[in-house]
Amino acid sequence: NKQKVLFVDTVGFLDRLPHNLIEAFKATLEEVVEADILIHLVDVSHPKANEQSDAVYKVLEEIEAKDKPVITVLNKVDKIENPNLITRALGYFHNAITISALKKEGFGPLIERISSHVDLLMARVKLKLPSSDAKTLALIYENGLVTRKEYIDGDVYIEAEVPKRIKALLEKSA
């Protein structure tokens, strides 16, 4: 849907690290707290995938990010020979998407899921701005999708789809 998204990779395998090291990694997880959506990538071929996932959710709870929308992605399905194991994993990881990054399979459903979450973060705005307000116009163009723009009597009438946080900024400055 032509929206910009930023992906940030954080550390995994937190269940085996010493407690003081986990505390240090929590500082790097500030991005998680600020994120709109989390993608939880699980190596489904790992024998302790469930335990590793549980450790991730424990950390999310500790950093007060457990209520964020999470898209669970089960990677390395190409390494699993028994299809019953994938079925069992899908039972444990509710509403998960299966992919093989190595074979580049399953990315269509993942992109669709990300897009649908991003759509929920968008809002429609209709604004009348002085045509000299280049800063606001740039903000809208950089972060949104302009659907209509019209110049009338020195003003710009603009309609756009923007992230809800940008809409809040625009309303605050109006």
- Cα distance between residue 46 and residue 55, in whole Å: 14
Per-residue pLDDT of the chain (174 residues; tens, 9 = 90+): 666 777 766 655 555 666 666 666 666 677 788 888 999 999 999 998 998 888 888 888 888 888 989 999 999 999 999 989 999 999 999 899 999 999 999 999 999 999 999 889 999 999 999 999 999 999 999 988 999 999 999 999 999 999 998 999 998 886
The answer to whether 126 and 170 have CB atoms below 8 angstroms apart is no
Residue 87, phi then psi, degrees to nearest 5: -60, -45
Q: Residue 168: helix, strand or coil by DSSP?
A: helix
Q: What is the pTM of this model?
A: 0.76
What is the full DSSP assignment across 26-54? Answer: HHHTHHHHH-S-EEEEEETTSTTHHHHHH
The answer to whether 16 and 22 have CB atoms below 8 angstroms apart is no
**pLDDT value of residue 21:** 67
**pLDDT value of residue 40:** 92
CA distances from 65 to 68, 126, 136 (A): 6, 32, 31
**pLDDT value of residue 33:** 83
**pLDDT value of residue 27:** 64
- Cα distance between residue 113 and residue 162, in whole Å: 19
- Cα distance between residue 96 and residue 90, in whole Å: 6
**pLDDT value of residue 1:** 60
**pLDDT value of residue 9:** 67
Tell me the two tokens of residue 29. Answer: 């997880």
Centroid of chain to Cα 26: 19
**pLDDT value of residue 13:** 52
